[in-house]
Amino acid sequence: MAPARDLRDVLRRHGYTVYDIGNEAHMVHEPPEDHTPYSETAYPGRSVYGVGYAIDIMPPKTSARSKVDGLPLPSLQQLGAQLLADRNGGVSGIRWLKYMNWEPERNNGGLCYQESWRPTYRRRSSSDRGHIHLSGLTGYETSTIGSGYDPVARIRGDDMSEAEIIAAVRKAITTDRAIREELSRLPWAFKPADHGGKTTAHAIVLNGHTRTLTAIAGRDLVDEQQVAADLAPALLAVLTPQAIAAAVPAEFAGQVADELAARLAS
């Protein structure tokens, strides 16, 4: 499936060993699972014949460095924690994940879990050790949702400054057509947000899109009000007046219009 392939390729570029199609034991196993091109454990629909739905990420050597940025390769424990946080956090690039088998403490030793989303999140114990196993949902076979998702970069992103995050978000919104399209598809269900007792148009905008922006930026936005002020021009650039008029609650329509007029005039 495309998003698993995209993640496989990103991780291989960093230097991880990532497997996809299984060996003969997988092929003749009853029932055939997600490392075969004819899985019978697909969810929520039936598998598409010829499509594999799983990858295995192998533990890197402790001294290994990323071939992309030269920094130490995250362990499977760090990588798994990021994947889990992103999947539970609604990050779109990993929304295709059906379940993950991993060991959060150490390789081949401590606890081993299966984290699954079928459809709601549930953790149970697993015996599938020695690697991270990822299985995908049906319906994402040809999806581009995973393109650009890089959990290693997201782990590094913890060190980004607020200014770098804002710059990254602004750049993403203004230069990335896919993100702009995603924003334009979102239901414009603006909710009032109380920022220091003052509800502003850009706070309303941001309040509805914090998750998207967080996904783009790669971490929580710390000072929402400041970010809102800084991002307002870029956000307003991707909103059509019709979208705003159609979705903004009547009691805020005037404020949004005022804000837009002020932004357009400046």
Contacts with Zn ion, residue ranges (CB under 5 A): 56, 133
Residue pair 2/146 in contact (Cβ under 8 Å)? The answer is: yes
Measuring CA to CA, which residue among 161, 152, 150, 159 is closest to residue 216?
Answer: 150
Pick between residue 55 and residue 152 the one whose CB is nearest to Zn ion: 55
The least CB distance from residue 158 to Zn ion, in Å, is 28
Shortest spacing between CB 88 and Zn ion, in angstroms: 21
- Closest to Zn ion by CB, 56 vs 230, is 56
Of the two residues 102 and 252, which places its CB atom closer to Zn ion in the complex?
102
Measured on CA atoms in the order 223, 225, 226, 230, is the torsion positive or negative? positive
Beta bridge partners of 72: 65
Of 47 and 92, the one with the shorter C-beta distance to Zn ion is: 47
Which amino acid does the sequence have at 204? I
Decide whether 87 or 133 has the Cβ nearer to Zn ion.
133
CB of 60 vs Zn ion, minimal distance in Å: 17
Q: How far is the CB of 68 from Zn ion (least distance, A)?
A: 24
* Shortest Cβ 129–Zn ion spacing (Å): 11
Cβ closer to Zn ion: 87 or 170?
A: 87
Minimum separation from the CB atom of position 108 to Zn ion (A): 15
Least distance to Zn ion from the beta carbon of 115, Å? 14
State CA 104 to chain mean position distance: 20
Q: Of 17, 56, 54, whose CA–CA distance to 38 is shortest?
A: 54
**Beta partners for residue 54, in sequence order:** 135
Phi, psi of 73 (to 5 degrees): -70, 130
Residue with tokens 């497997």: 19
Rounded distance, CA 76 to CA 53, Å?
A: 20
Residue 18 is given by DSSP the state E
Cis peptide before 44 (omega within 30 of 0): yes
Q: How many residues does the chain have?
A: 266
Shorter beta-carbon distance to Zn ion: residue 8 or 133: 133
Tokens of 217: 């930026």
Measured from each CB, the residue nearest to Zn ion is 133
